[in-house]
């Protein structure tokens, strides 16, 4: 199976579906990640080019832990991604043709971050009139928990790896305690949605 993750910023792939990605990779599925932006505003005190280089290096380190096969950086504008939907779709379209994903993970449309909200319009624009085969869209949670979910994945066996990958995004842990937040969310989902130690949940829709 070909798995594609759409991540508006480096670390979204790990926070939202890192445990599930480990499971897919361990099964032998091909996992690829497209970063729509490089999250340079996550390091506001640095020049954009330097910040971009740091965050992309962290993404590569996390990907090795998650066993992601391919990474792609579109380098659209951080925080104003909604203004670049046609551009992002144009950059994404050839990757969709090349990767031929069966399953696409992306942030859910009600997530609080504006760049996360832009992910679905970008995917839809990229698929429009492209002659692509259908792919299932599976929405993950980052800033805002899902109010409804269709799919639950027990990630208890891969939670330690997910947290190691999250620690690879070292620059982002200085301002937010993502380790505590992600551990708490996945523990909550495990207890109430899957009756296990840790879980990730997703909402799902057929691809266009």
Q: What is the pLDDT of residues 122-169, one digit of tens each?
A: 999 999 977 788 899 999 999 999 999 999 999 999 999 999 999 999
Which residue is it, tokens 């992600």? 182
Q: Is 110 helix (H, G, I), strand (E, B) or coil?
A: coil
Q: Mean pLDDT for the chain?
A: 96
pLDDT number for residue 106:
98
Backbone angles phi, psi at 152, to 5 degrees: -125, 130
- The counts of H helices and E strands in the chain are 7, 7
pLDDT number for residue 175:
87
**What mean pLDDT do residues 57-67 have?**
98
User: Would you place residue 206 in the very low, low, confident or very high pLDDT band (cuts 50, 70, 90)?
Assistant: confident
Residue-level length of the chain: 208
Q: What angle do CA 105, 65, 56 make, to 5 degrees?
A: 70
């Amino acid at each position: 199976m070909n798995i594609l993750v759409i991540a508006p910023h480096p670390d979204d792939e790990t926070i939202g579906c890192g445990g599930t990605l480990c499971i897919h990779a361990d099964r032998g599925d091909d996992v690829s990640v497209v970063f729509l932006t490089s999250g340079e505003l996550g390091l506001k005190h640095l020049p954009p080019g330097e910040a971009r280089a740091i965050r992309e290096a962290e993404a590569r380190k996390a990907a090795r832990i998650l066993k992601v096969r391919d990474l792609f950086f579109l380098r659209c504008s951080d925080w104003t991604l909604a203004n670049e939907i046609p551009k992002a779709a144009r950059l994404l379209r050839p990757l969709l043709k090349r990767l031929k994903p069966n399953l696409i993970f992306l942030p859910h449309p009600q997530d609080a971050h504006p760049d996360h909200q832009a992910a679905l319009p970008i995917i839809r624009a990229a698929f429009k009139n492209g002659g692509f085969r259908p792919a299932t869209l599976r929405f993950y949670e980052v800033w805002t928990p899902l109010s409804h979910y269709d799919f639950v994945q027990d990630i208890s066996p891969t939670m330690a790896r997910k947290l190691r990958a999250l620690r690879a995004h070292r620059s982002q842990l200085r301002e937010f305690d993502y380790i505590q937040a992600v551990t708490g969310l996945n523990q909550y989902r495990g207890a109430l949605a899957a009756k296990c130690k840790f879980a990730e949940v997703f909402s799902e829709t057929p691809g266009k």
